[in-house]
Amino acid sequence: MLVTGADGFIGSHLAEHLVRLGARVRALVQYNSFNSDGWLDHSSLHAQMEIVAGDVRDPLCCREICQGMDTVFHLAALIAIPYSYRAPQSYVDTNVSGTLNMVQGAKEAGVRRFMHTSTSEVYGTARYVPIDEAHPLQPQSPYSASKIGADQIARSYWHAFELPVTVMRPFNTYGPRQSARAVIPTIITQMAAGAKVIKLGDVTPTRDFNYVTDTVAGMCALAACDACVGEVVNIASNHEISIGETLNLIKTLMGWDGEFVQDPQRLRPQGSEVFRLWGDNSKITTLTGWRPQVSLRQGLQQTISWFTQPENLKRYRADRYHV
């Protein structure tokens, strides 16, 4: 099996999970001059994977890594929403063109399944809840626009060439190794670093949080489901909670007694903020039987435990805003 973006947050967890299941895993990590495999550098299963350094923006690389693969999990993407305001072309190059390169490589290699990773951000602010797969797509940031384009490229290869594509649409995944640009690591790392004032953006939006092991299990369940070929499927908890409520829950779990202030640089443009996300998971449950196993409280406790370990916390810069 091939996992692109295996050096990242969800990708590293997925690659490890597949190894534990007994799969032969080829892990694509982004080439860099530091000889780093990202989060896989710290994985006890690193030696049990075939690590390949490359870039999905390169068509030849994509053709080569798909050869001999039964299933492709395509997770490689640029994901930070604020940075997409500054560098939108980079998001088109990686997310749209990169996905085109991957589906073409998969088509030429004759893979059995192509699992494309989308995002709940493509829905924008909910027009109705819970958000099912028929909800309109709303490009409220260059990032979400690029992911809509990537999704449609992948789906076009199902319709035009019968490439066995499934579009997996996870809602807000969190857990160990998540980037500090996300809200839960932002809160935890600031508290763990001893800050008495937590800087955040708008705390009124709601999110549908899913612990990373549940997201990974959902991806694997979809890959094993033949009825999911050609489908778009949410991976969601079917529950929403505001950022403010999440902040208060983390405060309780960490025993923190400081205060929150709004940091203007962390605010999205008004028309770009996604104010409500609540995903309908009935489709994945019906098709695969998958249901989330980790409650938000349990997941946050496990996430806090990981981030507050000194060797992990030192990898994050809690005093700096990560775009």
Query: Where exactly are the structural domains of the chain?
Result: 2-175+209-235
- Minimal CA–CA distance to 118: which of 139, 89, 87, 104? 139
Low-confidence ranges of the chain (pLDDT < 70): 320-323
For the stretch 20-43, pLDDT in tens is 999 999 999 999 999 999 999 999
* C-alpha distance across the termini of the chain, in Å: 32
Pairing of strands 71-74, 113-117: parallel
* Predicted local confidence at residue 158, as pLDDT: 98
Burial degree of 165 (CB within 10 A; 0-12, 13-18, 19+)? buried
DSSP state of 131: B
* Predicted local confidence at residue 265, as pLDDT: 76
Residue 255's H or E segment, with its range, is none
Pairing of strands 241-242, 206-207: antiparallel
* 28 in Cβ contact with 2 (< 8 Å): yes
CATH architecture of 2-175+209-235: 3-Layer(aba) Sandwich (3.40)
DSSP state of 299: H
Which pTM was predicted? Answer: 0.96
DSSP 224-243: T-GGGTT-EEEE--S--EEH
* Predicted local confidence at residue 321, as pLDDT: 65
* Predicted local confidence at residue 181, as pLDDT: 83
Q: What is the dihedral of CA 83, 86, 91, 94, to 10 degrees?
A: -90
Beta bridge partners of 3: 27, 73
For the stretch 152-208, pLDDT in tens is 999 999 999 999 999 999 999 999 999 988 999 999 999 999 999 988 888 999 999
* Predicted local confidence at residue 264, as pLDDT: 83
* Predicted local confidence at residue 267, as pLDDT: 79
* 277 in Cβ contact with 207 (< 8 Å): yes
